[in-house]
């Protein structure tokens, strides 16, 4: 929620949607990487998670999409 809410409110203008996607996904990917090759996977996941939230602006989507993704691993 910090990546989505905090950055949207204080660092970007409303019309900078794609810049938000790139910056947030880069941060998300960087924090989850163990091996450098994993960055592209986590960058893509970060973008998908963000776009799911922005699509409807609903916090439930922000929780549900990563939950569904993680449940695939279980």
- pTM for the whole structure: 0.73
- What is the rounded CA–CA span in Å between residue 46 and residue 31? 11
Q: What is the mean pLDDT of the chain?
A: 80
- What is the rounded CA–CA span in Å between residue 47 and residue 50? 5
List pLDDT tens digits, range 48-59: 888 887 888 777
Range of the domain at 65: 2-73
The pLDDT assigned to 64 comes to 84
pLDDT of 1 above 70: no
The average pLDDT across 52-72 equals 81
CA 11 to chain centre: 15
Tally of domains in the chain: 1
Please answer whether residues 25 and 47 qualify as being in contact, where contact means their C-beta atoms are separated by less than 8 angstroms. Answer: yes
């Amino acid at each position: 929620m910090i990546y989505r809410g905090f950055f949207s409110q204080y660092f970007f203008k409303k019309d900078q949607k794609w810049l938000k996607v790139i910056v947030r996904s880069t941060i998300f990917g960087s924090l989850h990487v163990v091996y450098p090759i994993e960055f592209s996977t986590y960058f893509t996941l970060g973008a998908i998670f963000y776009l799911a939230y922005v699509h409807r602006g609903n916090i439930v989507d922000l929780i549900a999409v990563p939950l569904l993704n993680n449940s695939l691993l279980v």
